[in-house]
Amino acid sequence: MTTPHLITIPSPAAVPSAANDFDFLMGPWRIRNTRLVRRLAGCNDWEVFDATGSVHPLPAGVGNYDSFTPLAWKPGYVGMALRVFSPESQRWSIYWLDNLTGGLDPATGQLLPPVVGGFQDGVGIFEGEDLLEGRPVRVRFEWSQMHTGAPRWQQAFSEDGGATWEVNWVMEMARPV
């Protein structure tokens, strides 16, 4: 009797995948926010405030979501990011939802367009179209310092199709102590 050849097939969890790009973000965070008071208006005034957040996976590796609760800024404000991964394109779509707009287009009731992108060379870049006070802008999210234990997120807007960018919000994260 011959012994059949055994073939080892790695489990999906063992195969590196862009679907795990945001694993560094799972769990609770203290968030230091630095936010431009007025965007694309030549403003140099920044507000600084603290927030808490917590990131959770969605079932079956579909993505993740987080909570964002400022401690004193805009009392009652709550936001969340919904990050969804496409195995086919290997790209992420990130939606922003909050208790002011729901993250919905008031005319259609549909989710506002996401920023889309991924990670390369240790930096995550995600871009999309948005409106600022009724005028079209390009928006960019940038993730960096993911593996330092203190990730950094920043948002920038462009009025000229991405030729120039104005950073208008920075989040510096640390684990609660």
The Cα 161–Cα 99 span in angstroms is: 29
pLDDT for position 16: 53
pLDDT for position 87: 94
pLDDT for position 2: 53
pLDDT for position 173: 98
pLDDT for position 5: 54
The Cα 21–Cα 136 span in angstroms is: 29
Enumerate domains of the chain plus CATH numbers: 18-174 (2.40.128.20)
The Cα 102–Cα 109 span in angstroms is: 9
Rounded to 5 degrees, what are φ and ψ at 128?
-170, 180
Q: What is the pTM of this model?
A: 0.88
The Cα 74–Cα 170 span in angstroms is: 17
Spans in the chain with pLDDT lower than 70: 1-16
The Cα 87–Cα 21 span in angstroms is: 12
